[in-house]
Amino acid sequence: MASYIGRRKFLATLGGAAACPLAARAQQSAMPVIGFPSGRGLKDSASDLAAFRQGLNEIGYVEARNVTIEYRWAEGKFDQLPALTTDLVSRQVAVIVAFGTTISLAAKAATRTIPIVFFSGADPIAAGLVTSLNRPDSNLTGVNVFSNVLNAKRLQLLRELVPAAVLVGMLVNPAVATTQSEVLESQTAAEKMGQRIRVLNASTDREIDAAFATIVEERIGGLLVQAEPFLTSRRDQLVLWTTRHVVPTIFPWREFTTAGGLMSYGTGFTSAFRQVGLYAGQILQGAKPTDLPVVQPTKFEFVINLKAAKAFGLEVPATLLALADEVIE
């Protein structure tokens, strides 16, 4: 059975509960249960969990007090996600929260009745999660962070930082359904700027290492990292390799930049995960996914790490600094 961390402790909040284990268990079993499958691990998800719990709290739900969360951690073994999700369905949880398009599709395949709140970087309609954003017509709703349609903007920002880079690498996971369309759109955008894209496939740690060997061998002048769960789970590894090989890179999430990466452009995770918590809480209160429109971001974060730029020997143009929402010094 796939490894996971299940909740195995309880919080006795009423007088006498500690002295009466059966009563405490009865109280606990009466709580609604949220299923939380994740391709990542607990350590890598701390900030995401905090934002998710904040959303729940705003609706009136506090973990272990009046709601139970059953976690299933794949620890980077994404092939385990269908089994982890099926396990939660078999336990008849009240709602499933699914962070990522791949796991959201796995949840949809596993149940047509349990409400699912997703966090998706891909177009939810094109990915097959919903047929309408304003009024989802199934058991799914959630947040779309538009990650995979921001690559043209990321390429533009990267070009402003390293205008001499004619050959740019694009690190992608070929197992993701949207990868081919993302690559085509990025190649079109690069051609308009007089650049060429070298596609680098990586769905394992070994393939990430091989990709960077290619970057060094072919003297690729810059790198764009796809916004998808596997590569996101390898944040520290990617930051290390881009720094070690001095490859100017733009990442999809702020978390890469705060970990030492050079630049990032994308939706803020905190507000998106909080929204998932809000929707999960509303469903626990009786709302149906069809009543909750898919939420789309109105703001994107551009973050520059000046310390990393200095290590790369790069002078960040004043125009880029003026565009940045956050500058890490």
Q: Give alpha helix (H) positions in 117-251.
A: 124-127, 151-161, 179-192, 205-217, 229-233, 235-244
Sketch the domain layout of the chain as residue ranges: 21-145+268-291, 148-267+300-328
Helix (H, G, I), strand (E, B) or coil at 131: coil
Is it the case that residue 67 has pLDDT exceeding 50? yes
The Cβ of residue 29 has, within 10 Å, a number of other Cβ atoms equal to 10
Element at 198 (helix H, strand E): strand 196-201
d(C-alpha 191, C-alpha 195), whole Å: 5
Question: Do the domains 21-145+268-291 and 148-267+300-328 sit in the same CATH topology, yes or no?
Answer: yes
Per DSSP, 122 falls in state: S
pLDDT value of residue 217: 97
* CATH number of the domain located at residue range(s) 21-145+268-291 in this protein: 3.40.50.2300
Tokens at residue 121, please?
A: 């970087």
CB-based contacts of 192, cutoff 8 Å, min separation 6: none
Residue 2 confidence (pLDDT) above 70 = no
What is the arithmetic mean of pLDDT over 259-282? 93
CA distances from 11 to 28, 59, 107, 211, 287 (A): 8, 20, 29, 48, 27
For residues 323 and 302, give the distance between their C-alpha atoms in angstroms, rounded to a whole number: 7
pLDDT at 29: 54
> How high is the mean pLDDT of the chain?
88
- Of 3.50.50.60, 3.10.20.30, 3.40.50.620, 3.40.50.2300, the CATH number of 148-267+300-328 is 3.40.50.2300
> What are the tens digits of pLDDT across the range 210-228?
999 999 999 999 999 998 8
pLDDT of residue 76: 75
Judge if pTM exceeds 0.85: no
DSSP string of 74-107, one letter each residue: -TT-GGGHHHHHHHHHHTT-SEEEEESHHHHHHH
The more confident residue out of 179 and 287 is 287
User: Is pLDDT at 9 greater than 60 in this prediction?
Assistant: no
